[in-house]
Structure 1
Amino acid sequence: MMQDNLNGRLRIAVVIGSVRKPRLADSLAAWLERELAAIDWLDLDMIDLASVSLPMHEMRPGGAAASPIAGRLADADGFVFLVPEYNHSFPAPVKNAIDWHFTEWAYKPVAFVGYGASGGIRAVEQLRTVFPELRATTVRESVLLPMAWEHLDADGRFVPPPGTVQALHATMNELRTWARALRSHRIADLAGRAWTS
């Protein structure tokens, strides 16, 4: 539910974009959850696409089909996508999850934590072209994790290289600014719209 208090807590949904098994995303998501859980202005919701069934043949135009995560996305004030780069782009399940929904993204900010050989930058930059069509805005700051698999300890925990935590906090501060500004202007009945194209 939308809150009117601009200084209130924000609900931030982290979308884990890899569905592979095994996957590096588990270590990165655990690190991200630890870092974000310590931020006092947000309530965290971790959404793992590997645990969500979104069959492509059941998708409806404009996100009209029922989705097991639609309510959680709708309740969010902003999003962080943990996204890998596969073959110079983002994974198909990420696009599928985006296309399954429509109004849930609108007038909300989206931040990215990318990973891959080049830090996931091509996946992130391509996603920046997708979200404006859904009336979402992407924040300028991002976190890029090149060769993240080289930064796992003996227990498989991600050990962030220098500058990573600072980049994350800069990204989250920008996300907070946008989330508060957009929450105050969000159209209250947006979720009731029907789109067919």
Structure 2
Amino acid sequence: MREHCATSTAAPLRVAVIIGSTREGRLGESVGRWFVERAAKRDELELSVVDLAEFDFPARYPDLPTGPIAEFTAEVDRAEAFVVVTPEYNRSFPASLKQAVDFAYDEWHTKPVAFVSYGHGSGGLYAVEGLRTVFTELHTVTLRNGVSINLFDCGDDVLDVGAAAEEHRDRAASVLLDQLGWWGLALREARAARPYIC
């Protein structure tokens, strides 16, 4: 297994793990917890969990930001990198995630976005491909590598898989974190060196 990047004297990279589903009975919370447990082993990362189910967003887009919208936007602004945990619903990502993403704009710019997806058969990759288009419009850098969980491989619990599948997931998470750290620090330095033009 590859070792993650060498230690750095840089300040920890602020990573927001966004749990994108708000559906009752969702698996996103379990998947997000699994990922955060692995990411938390890295001292070079400062993690925060942004669970969309905890925000009382309005049904209609208001003229002025509500408290929850302002709170979410502040989380996006504070973060230097993102991991989006998304299910796949009908070959796409949930409406709750699109709604939240659209509440911010400048706050996303020039930051890396990685994906942890889950779904039946495709492992959520259709959702990820849709999200790549959205995040490209927001001037982010989306990572090539991610974690994809095929729910057909799971038992009653999404984390109930055999040793080989668990090792594969762990390795995928490690590569994702390596790449997220590299891009996060590179883009932090770029933002400090010169203003971004969009």
In which range does the TM-score fall when normalised by the shorter chain?
0.7 to 0.9
Alignment of 1:16-165 (within 5 A): 16-59=19-62, 65-66=65-66, 67=69, 68-117=71-120, 118-147=122-151, 150-151=154-155, 156=157, 158-159=159-160, 161=165, 162-165=167-170
Tell me the C-alpha RMSD between the 2 structures: 2.7
The C-alpha deviation readout for 1:80-120, integer Å capped at 9, x for no partner, is 00000000000001110110111111100000001001100
TM-score normalised by the chain length of structure 1: 0.83
- 1:181 aligned onto 2:190: no
Cα distance change on mapping 1:151 and 1:7 into 2, 3 Å: farther
Cα distance change on mapping 1:121 and 1:58 into 2, 3 Å: same
Amino acid corresponding to residue 177 of structure 2 in structure 1: M
Structure 1 CA distance, aligned partners of 2:184 and 2:136?
Answer: 15
1:144 partner SS? strand
The answer to whether the 8 A contact 1:59-1:100 is kept is no
Following TM superposition, by how much is the alpha carbon of 1:23 offset from its aligned partner in structure 2, in angstroms? Answer: 1.2
Q: List gaps (5 residues or longer) in structure 1.
A: 191-197
Following TM superposition, by how much is the alpha carbon of 1:172 offset from its aligned partner in structure 2, in angstroms? Answer: 1.0
The C-alpha deviation readout for 1:153-180, integer Å capped at 9, x for no partner, is xxx4724623110001101111111111
Count residues with an aligned counterpart.
Answer: 183
The answer to whether the 8 A contact 1:6-1:184 is kept is no
Q: List gaps (5 residues or longer) in structure 2.
A: 1-7
Amino acid corresponding to residue 120 of structure 1 in structure 2: G
